């Protein structure tokens, strides 16, 4: 019972103390208000853009190791195509039939590369 009361008292004391701290921190942060205002307007612009483009998730780029494994599987059935992964970018060299280019690109695009440099000679 006594513990409960002292606990209650602590809470009673804590609330105004927290309020005071909050007020103080708000006040002390007053000097950077113009900066804050600019930030908030920037954020509004960003969220507007996000709404227009329905962008919510960040871009995921696979590691080079994961890309290399994926590339190996993806180009297996494309003799004449050479693919490398470096710093998230896939670079394609060699040659490919035009009819096979799209399925190859579909596979590679699903590996989460940063970019695909298509330097293939198309037959």
Partner 1 sequence: MSLTDKYKEIVDFAKASAVTNLQVREQNNILYVDGAVSSGTVKDQLWAIYNKIDPDFRSGDLVMNVSVEQAAGAKAKVATESSNLNIRQGPGTDQPVVGKAAHNETVTILSKTNDQWSLIKTDSGKEGYVYTQYLQL
Please pick, from the candidates 68, 80, 93, 112, the single residue that binds partner 1 as defined by CB under 8 A: 112
Q: Does 62 bind partner 1 (CB under 8 A)?
A: no
Query: In this chain, which stretch among 13-21, 23-31, 79-87, 107-115 interacts with partner 1, using CB under 8 A?
Result: 107-115
Q: Does 101 bind partner 1 (CB under 8 A)?
A: yes
Tell me the closest approach of the beta carbon of residue 23 to partner 1, in angstroms. Answer: 39
Please pick, from the candidates 11, 40, 87, 102, the single residue that binds partner 1 as defined by CB under 8 A: 102
SS (H, E, C) the chain: CHHHHHHHHHHHHHHHHHHHHHHHHHHHHHHHHHHHHHHHHHHHHHHHHHHHHCCCCCCCCCCHHHHHHHHHHHHCCCCCEEEEEECCEEEEEEEECHHHHHHHHHHHHCCCCCEEEECCEEC
């Amino acid at each position: 019972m006594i513990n409960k009361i002292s606990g209650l008292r602590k809470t009673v004391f804590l609330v105004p103390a927290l309020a005071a701290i909050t007020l103080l921190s708000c006040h002390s942060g007053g000097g950077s208000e113009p900066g804050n205002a600019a930030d908030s307007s920037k954020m509004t612009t960003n969220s507007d853009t996000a709404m227009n483009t329905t962008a919510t998730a960040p871009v995921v780029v696979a590691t080079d190791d994961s890309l290399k494994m994926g590339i190996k599987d993806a180009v297996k059935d494309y003799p004449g195509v050479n693919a490398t992964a470096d710093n998230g970018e896939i670079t394609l060299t060699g040659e490919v039939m035009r009819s096979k280019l799209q399925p190859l690109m579909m596979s590679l695009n699903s590996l989460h590369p940063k970019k695909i440099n298509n330097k293939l000679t198309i037959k």
